[in-house]
Structure 1
Amino acid sequence: MDPHLLRTYVSVARLASFSEAARELGYTQSAVSQHIAALEQDLGAPLLTRRPVVPTAAGERLLEHAGPLLLRLEAARADVVRMAAAPAHGLTLAATPTALGPRTLAALPAAGVTLRTLARDEIPAAVATGAADLGLVDGLAAPSDPLRLPDVAPLTTRGVGEEPVCVLLPAGHPLARRPGLRLADLVDARWLDAPGAGLPLDRLRTASGTGGVRTALRYEGTDLRTLTTLAAAGHGLTVLPHGFAADVPGAVAVPLVAPRLVHRTELVYGGKPGGAAGALVRELTGPGATEGPR
């Protein structure tokens, strides 16, 4: 299967238009039509209806395969280019907001850094395809357990830190004076779902064993201050690393004691980083850091 034809097909299916796909890809509309016809002939199945432009059942199945296939091709190209290229003087770091703790920020080079805030599931792909030199991902895990990351390419992960987590409550909340909280204490609580700023609720739902973590408000931004302000104002509870939950005006951070979960941060990279990326890897990893291929 020709990857050029597959990329054309993905663009047409996503845009639901041959002409829009031609404009995006820089082809003529006739060339796009020829690409789709050639791919359909190769696979022996119609992939798109023409009016409207909608994937057939076979086309939908091909789309399920297309994303991972094209990503793997991009990752392979980036991996080879990375091996052949001289170490870059600058550094592009993709990270989630709560992965950027004081230790990480202190270790960053004084100049030449580009910091990209991305969703957790996007960071491995950004590193694999060369859009970022390094990635920092975080999440909730049992102590010493690795995070569950998307399998997009052969990448290396190293644990760079674990810390306790707290439930952030409004100062006037009935449970705010507790020395610790169990998830079972919060079965009727209303939660903030903030996948881009806080720690993901799906891990809490899994840990509860009941799925009873109820979303009151969904925040789709990446600003931690907005998230903590929403919690302090009573719009819902959130779980944050201890270092980010402490000293929030109008809120109280109470340790989550059961189930036993920690905030874990992992460094993600491909190959053997050199230059500024290699220096940061060495700075953040040390005795006791866990490493393994992904």
Structure 2
Amino acid sequence: MFENDALRLLVAVAECGSFTQAATRLNYTQSAVSRRIASLEQQAGGPLFDRLPRGVRLNPAGRSLHRHATEVLERLVRAERELAVLHAGDGGLLHVGAFATANISLVPGALRSLRDTRPGVEVVASEGPTGNLMGRLANGALDLAVVSDYPSGLPPADGVTTTVLCEDELRVALPRGHRLAGSGRFDLRELRDEAWLQSAYGDRPTMLADACARAGFSPRKVVRIAEWTGKFGYVAAGLGVALVPSLAAGAVPETLVLCGLTDPALRRTVHVALPASPLPAALELLRLLRVAAGSPPPA
């Protein structure tokens, strides 16, 4: 209802006690101040000042509006300061999302560095599947997301750009006593008689099923375990083996061994997704993610 300039003028006249002095302070003409105050009083439904022989003073209605005006103007000043800090990349909130295994070491390492380079930035972190993260970026709920093209590529999202961060090779986790634990890298067919720990449910194609098909066999048995800690426990007990992304290597317990596989298709690409107009703090985090991933800077 009331314009910010009109509220500033109200406060200035109240402080100066004079239309003329307020005009001088704000670089207006005295007639312009009189017109603006008259317009404000019309909006307010009645007089806001008592006209005195020498100057003016707020009446009860004016004091009421003055109280709200000072609160509004103080909030606007704080908002301007916060926005200036936010756009400079030195503070404010940064909403960051990532898929589960990126949150094991890659993203936390970059966020630790961001805390050092931008201590005023407050990170709000969340986790979810790539499709969900891309949607949240598109609707403005996230400022940056670390996403993956597994299992079916990156879903389209309006106004979202993606940058390749790194390749994430899938390895196989074996118990230390397994016959292949010291082999380093081998063909997947060597594991054709094993049970496999897998978290995906339903009939959706999986990287494991595709890799086994390329190797000429089907998994003898698939054990459905949702969480990584459960998978690792089953592998350690000799109840199966599991594909583990390189990003999750830091979470693998010492009772297990990670081995490479010769199938070059057993990898996924990790991307950083940003909105069309990213915040400076998001661009700084992108730089730090590149450092953490050992990715070269863009040309």
Task: Give the TM-score of the pair, scaled to structure 2.
Answer: 0.55
Q: Which of 89, 94, 97 in structure 1 is aligned with 2:92?
A: 89
Structure 1 residues 243 and 136, CA gap change in structure 2 (3 angstroms):
closer
One-letter code aligned to 1:262: R
- The corresponding residue for 1:218 is 224
**In structure 2, C-alpha distance between the alignment counterparts of 1:201 and 1:229, rounded to whole Å:** 25
Spell out the pairing of 1:92-171 with structure 2 (5 A cutoff).
92-100=95-103, 102-108=105-111, 109-110=114-115, 112-138=122-148, 148-171=153-176
Could you list the per-position Cα deviations for residues 15-67 of structure 1 after superposition, in whole angstroms to 9, with x for gaps in the alignment? xxxxxxxxxxxxxxxxxxxxxxxxxxxxxxxxxxxxxxxxxxxxxxxxxxxxx
In structure 1, runs of 5+ residues without a counterpart are 1-85, 142-146
The residue aligned with 1:239 is 243
Does the CA-based 8 Å contact 1:168-1:240 persist in structure 2?
Answer: yes
Matches within 5 A, 1:1-294: 87=87, 89-100=92-103, 102-108=105-111, 109-110=114-115, 112-138=122-148, 148-195=153-200, 202-208=206-212, 209=214, 212-213=218-219, 216-221=222-227, 224-242=228-246, 244-245=248-249, 248-285=253-290, 288=296
- Preserved contact between residue 166 and residue 245 of structure 1 (Cα < 8 Å): no
| SS state at 2:92 partner | coil
SS class of match (1:90): strand
8 Å CA contact retained: 1:182, 1:259: no
Q: For the residues of structure 1 that align with 2:230 and 2:222, how far apart are their CA atoms? A: 15
- Over 3 Å counting, the alpha-carbon distance change for 1:214 and 1:158 in structure 2 is farther
**TM-superposed deviation, 1:285:** 4.4
Name the residue aligned to 1:67. none
Do 2:173 and 2:259's aligned partners in 1 also have CA atoms closer than 8 Å? yes
The amino acid of 1:171's aligned partner reads R
Alignment CA distance shift 1:214-1:154 (3 Å): farther
SS of the equivalent of 1:254 reads strand
- 1:93 and 1:116 in contact (8 A); partners too: yes
**CA shift digits 1:57-115 (9 cap, x unpaired):** xxxxxxxxxxxxxxxxxxxxxxxxxxxxx748211111112123645323213251121
Local SS of the residue matching 1:273: coil
Measure how far apart 1:274 and its partner are.
1.0
Aligned partners of 1:284 and 1:92: how far apart in 2? 15
**Do the aligned partners of 2:95 and 2:123 also contact (CA within 8 Å) in 1?**
yes
Using the alignment, how far apart are the partners of 1:214 and 1:156 within structure 2? 41
- Size of the aligned set, in residue pairs, is 196
Compared CA separation, residues 250 and 101, structure 1 to 2 (3 A): closer
Q: Is the 8 A contact 2:192 2:217 kept in 1?
A: no
What are the ranges of 5 or more consecutive residues in structure 2 without an aligned counterpart?
1-85, 116-120
**Over aligned residue pairs, what C-alpha RMSD do you find?**
3.3
- Of residues 90-99 and 244-253 in structure 1, the stretch that sits farther from structure 2 once superposed is 244-253
Over the matched positions of the two proteins, sequence identity in percent amounts to 26
Q: What's the offset of the Cα at 1:266? A: 1.0
- Residue 158 (structure 1) shift: 0.9
Give the structure with the larger helix fraction.
2
CA distance in 2, matches of 1:176, 1:154: 46
Contact 1:191 1:215 in 2 (8 A): yes
SS in 1 for 2:184: coil
Q: Distance in 1 between matches of 2:218 and 2:297?
A: 34
Larger radius of gyration: 2
Q: Distance in 1 between matches of 2:200 and 2:139?
A: 23
